[in-house]
Structures are given as C-alpha cells and as structure tokens.
Amino acid sequence: MNTRKNQLRSLFGGVPAEEANKAADQNEPAPAAEPHKRATSGAVKAMGLSLSSLSQEVEDARRLRESLSRGEQIVELDPAVIEGSPFSDRLSDGPTHDESFEDLMQSIADHGQQVPVLVRPHSEPVKAGQGIFQIAYGHRRVLAARALGRTVRAVIRSLDDAELVVAQGKENAERRALSFIERALFSKTLIDHGFDRATIQAALAVHKSEMSRLIGVAEMIPIQVAHAIGPAPKTGRPRWMALGELIANPRIRHWANEEITDQAFRDTADSDQRFQRVFDRLTSALQSTSVAPDAAVVIRAADGAAIGELAQSARGARLTIPISAGRRFADYVAEQLPTLHEAFKAAQQSGSASETTGDAKKVKP
C-alpha cells in the first residue's frame, strides 16, 4: 500500500519512484518533493480534458459490460434500416445546431464506433417485419455512421414506449445534455403522446415542479420558432419565458415569423445568436410606434353624454371615468366589477361571450 502511495506521490510530487519505494522498503518516510512550478492553465485544462475523456471511456465500458451481462449481442446494422425515436428530443440534426457533431464524426472515422447504440424493433408490426428498427439512444452516432457510409454497431432490445423514453432520457443526461428548450419540448411531446407524469419525470430526471415549468415554456413558444432558433444551449428558462411573453402579444407575434424567415437570420449559425435576434426583434417592435396603444374609445350613456374612456394596449386596458359622469359613478363601477366578471366567465363557459367590448350604451349610471 505504501509503495502505491509513494508511486502516486512520485507522479504528482516530483519524487522519483525508485527513491520513494526504497524509503517504503526501509520503513522510512519518503523524501520530500522538491519545489516545482505550478502547471500552467493550459496544462491544467489538458489534464481536465484527459480526465473527462477517461471518465467517459469508463462509462462506455460499463455500459458495454451491462449489455453483455444481459446476454445481448452487438450486431451490425445498415443505417438505412434505423429510424429515429418516435419521440423527438433534439432540435439539432447532424451538424445543424450541433457544434460537436464534426468531432464525433472524426472520432468514429479514426477509431470506429466504440459504443453501440440501443434500438428496438419498429413499433409498427409491418415495419418490424421488414427489419426496421427505432432508436432508443445513439441518434448522433447513427447520423455520423450514415454520413461516413458505415454500418452501425447496435444492441437490439424489446422495449415498450415507456421503457424507450426512459432509456432515451437517461442517455441524454449522461452524454450531450439537452438544452432547456429541448427538454421543454421533449416533455410536451411526451405529454401529448399520453405518457404519465411519473414516466416523464424519470425520463428527464426532474422533479414535478421543474417539469411543470418545462411544459409551461413549451406551450408558450410556437414549435416553428423553436425549430428555427435551435437548441440555444446557453439560453435558460428566464430568457425563454421572456420570449414566450413577447410572442403571446398578438400585436407583435407576427414579427417572430418574419424574423425566422429573414435571410440574415438563416445565415446566423450560432443558435444562441438566433434566439437573441428574435428576442431583439420583438422587443424593438414592442417599443416602436407601430404598436402604440389604441386611441381611447369614448363610452357614452343613452343620452349621448360621455361617461368614460377605454384605452387598450398590449399590457392591459385602462378605464377613465370623468367627474361629469357623476361623483359616485366610479365607485359604483368598481363595486359592480366582481359581479360583472363572474357574469363574463359564465358567458364564456356557455360559449356566448362576445370577443368585442360590447355595446357601451348598455351601461347605465
């Protein structure tokens, strides 16, 4: 044990292994390490990358051992017979929105596909009979092998939909993690396909409250906007929520569609920059005169006298009641608002609520 410790000390402390081991044999303390210069930041970074790579290789080996221990065999499949998961979880597609995809391709080209992907027989019996498979995890490796013209090393396992999405989510957590918006859209996809919340939480490794936040954001962002922007890995929940609130404004939401079809937007390769372009476009539109509040509408009584002014904007509505309408009229309107609101909700539920402001002449002092 002392010998091993001294060998480690010799590796990191500058003491020759022979001296350290000799001291251990004689039951003497190892000589002190000579002072040495601290490693440069570049060397530290390189060591960190090496340790990270080693950790991934250990994880890959563990996965391989687990597959073999279950008696599963690794087979070679033509990428043409492999389809993606029926539950999309990524906004990247090969090199599109995936800066590390080229590195993955180069690694497979140089060293081969070290870790097999997991597939299942296709969920449609006809396709399963034709030897078509669906990916549980390993989408990027399949795309890389397809681009390189290579076969795919795969493990075939019978999985139901719930088992597939849990395996898919676990792989995402251990490899290139999904960005916030990818996780949000994945959670909504699973909800839309009828999965129970416990399964979705297991697939995404999130608590109930976090899953609710993910689904909330996914419902705010139009799918075409999310796909145009891409994963935006540096953009978190607060920014996506802010964008969702801008898009919810009916007066400016069309600017989002105009921005994502603009050539300059499409020429922007960085996904986070694409997000910023859309956000800036909508923020600018909100502040411009083209979306200024509507002119106030005068509300008149049956005799034609002005009893109020209603001004609406993207942020809400403002009702101004002049003194000429009666000194206590404003108080009276305020007292009646809860009753009017309940009547409005009841009318909405019955499907008879009008989307207009109604006939102002029906309001009597």
What is the tens place of the pLDDT at every residue in 39-62?
A: 444 454 445 544 544 554 555 455
Across 226-231, average pLDDT: 91
Q: Where along the chain do the CATH 3.90.1530.10 domains lie? A: 70-177
Question: In this structure, are residues 271 and 97 in contact, taking their beta carbons and an 8 Å threshold?
Answer: yes
Per-residue model confidence (pLDDT) at position 281: 93
Per-residue model confidence (pLDDT) at position 168: 81
pLDDT in tens, 18-45: 444 444 444 444 444 444 444 444 454 4
Give the right CATH number for 70-177 from 3.30.420.10, 3.40.1280.10, 3.30.1360.180, 3.90.1530.10: 3.90.1530.10
Beta bridge partners of 137: 118
Tell me the chain's radius of gyration from C-alpha atoms: 31
In percent, how much of the chain has pLDDT > 90? 24
Across 174-180, average pLDDT: 68
Residue 212 to residue 228: CA distance in whole angstroms: 24
Question: In this structure, are residues 168 and 160 in contact, taking their beta carbons and an 8 Å threshold?
Answer: no
Query: pLDDT tier at 84 (50, 70, 90 boundaries)?
Result: confident
- Rounded to 10 degrees, the C-alpha dihedral 107/131/175/235 comes to 110
Across the chain, mean pLDDT equals 75
**What is each CA distance from 48 to 45, 51, 101, in whole angstroms?**
5, 5, 21
Q: DSSP class of residue 365?
A: -
Per-residue model confidence (pLDDT) at position 80: 92
Per-residue model confidence (pLDDT) at position 253: 87
Question: In this structure, are residues 217 and 240 in contact, taking their beta carbons and an 8 Å threshold?
Answer: yes
Per-residue model confidence (pLDDT) at position 234: 92
Across 81-93, average pLDDT: 80
Question: In this structure, are residues 272 and 233 in contact, taking their beta carbons and an 8 Å threshold?
Answer: yes
Question: In this structure, are residues 30 and 6 in contact, taking their beta carbons and an 8 Å threshold?
Answer: yes
- If one compares 357 and 225, the residue with the highest pLDDT of the two is 225
What is the number of alpha carbons within 13 Å of residue 56 lying toward its C-beta? Answer: 13
Per-residue model confidence (pLDDT) at position 83: 92
Where are the extended beta strands (E) located within the chain?
Answer: 74-77, 82-83, 117-121, 133-137, 152-156, 297-300, 306-313, 316-320
pLDDT value at 178 more than 80: no
Winning range, highest mean pLDDT, from 90-99, 140-149, 281-290: 140-149
